[in-house]
Amino acid sequence: MINLEVPQKAGALINQAYQAAAEVFRPISRKYDRAEHTYPAELDMFAALLDGLNSSGEGGAGAAGVRRSKDENEKGNRNGANLNVVLGTIEMCWGDVGLLLSMPRQGLGNAAIGSVATDDQLERFSGMWAAMAITEPSCGSDSAAITATARLDGDHYVLNGEKIFVTSGERADAVVVWATLDKTKGRAAIKSFVVEKGTPGFEVVRVEHKLGIRASDTAVLRFENCRVPKENLLGTPEIDTAKGFAGVMQTFDNTRPLVAAMAIGVARAALEETKRILSEAGVEIDYDRPANAQHAAAAEYLKLEADYESAYLLTLESAWMADNRKPNSLQASMAKAKAGRSVVDIALKCVELTGAYGEESLLEKWARDAKILDIFEGTQQIQQLIVARRILGKTSAELK
């Protein structure tokens, strides 16, 4: 049975993440929203703290990867690193999602490494800040359409291609790059490679200007005859056409709940701020009265809060399943789809309910930050497609 109460042992982690969000993230949130492309130096102090939390097995508040237990005979339910990381991420993004994405050694590439790397690779890449590069100029939602290539040449793979919209692409120490070993073999030939900064043939072309998460850098990367040690291929180099590219896609089972958690944090921040503003205006939320018997703004707020709660519970479910050795691909996509859509609806409606507060409140910033959470790590439309395939038992070829 799934118990979606927050485990008592996670209390210290949640409190720690909340304090960091309230005392560091919130005060500098507007500063780095205005100073786009400026690295938030205040974040350096947290790197060692989060590293310690992750190495202890308790899980940190960033995008560290999650290792599933290999002991199939392990009995009983457990709350582990995946749930802890999700809970910590919610708190930190209550503070500022762009600043969380700027945290050293907490990139989405770290989640990819943590999810599918071998024990030797985990040790070699320990302490590294890794971004993740999937999207290309001609390939967005369909990861299987990747055109970047990787050709084995002796002890190295030679990578060629261009990647866009890479979060932390300029600041990270390395990038997990998705490329194909053989275009003729489709999805099964797609593998992920850890490419370290400074590798010849690896170039940061530009850093993008954005609507939201402006504290975080988003880069365009180019790989031209970039030689990567073959040991930097994550997972197995064999092309198994029967299995497809399930190995690299396993990464999303862990990163999508994290993005859903980011959305939950932003949505909660918007709801709390809206409740405060409404209260100051004399509009009180009464949970003991029907919505239609209250002020129209209060009734709308109750709808938004219900939307938030459903997204929150779906996110906890997907994390709990990973901790308990259960396939969570469907639940991860459901959580990402629900949370991504809900945070946009909630943030925009909160701006509407509170009126022209502008920069007196962070609400307008959260409304701008929210949109990306419905897009990256798989768009809303792709998540719904994945959910439909899982529920109907269809393959990607049968349901496009």
| Catalytic residue list | 377
CB-count burial class (<10 Å; 0-12, 13-18, 19+) for 183 = exposed
**If DSSP codes are grouped into helix, strand and coil, which group holds residue 219?**
strand
Q: Among 385, 386, 106, which residue's Cα sits nearest to residue 253?
A: 386
Tell the residue number behind the tokens 């907490």, with chain if given.
106
Tell the residue number behind the tokens 């370290």, with chain if given.
196
Cβ 304 vs Cβ 384: under 8 Å: no
Measured between alpha carbons, how far is 382 from 261 in angstroms, rounded to an integer? 18
CB-count burial class (<10 Å; 0-12, 13-18, 19+) for 26 = middle
Residue 376 is given by DSSP the state T
Tell the residue number behind the tokens 């990256």, with chain if given.
376
Beta-sheet pairing, 218-229 with 202-207: antiparallel
Written as six digits, the tokens of 191 are 């593998």
Measured between alpha carbons, how far is 15 from 72 in angstroms, rounded to an integer? 32
In sequence order, the 6+-apart residues with CB closer than 8 A to the CB of 343 are: 263, 264, 266, 267, 270, 311, 370, 373, 374
Cβ 390 vs Cβ 329: under 8 Å: yes
Taking phi over 0 as left and psi of -120 to 50 as alpha, with beta for the rest, 223 belongs to beta
Measured between alpha carbons, how far is 147 from 179 in angstroms, rounded to an integer? 7
- Amino acid identity at 22: A
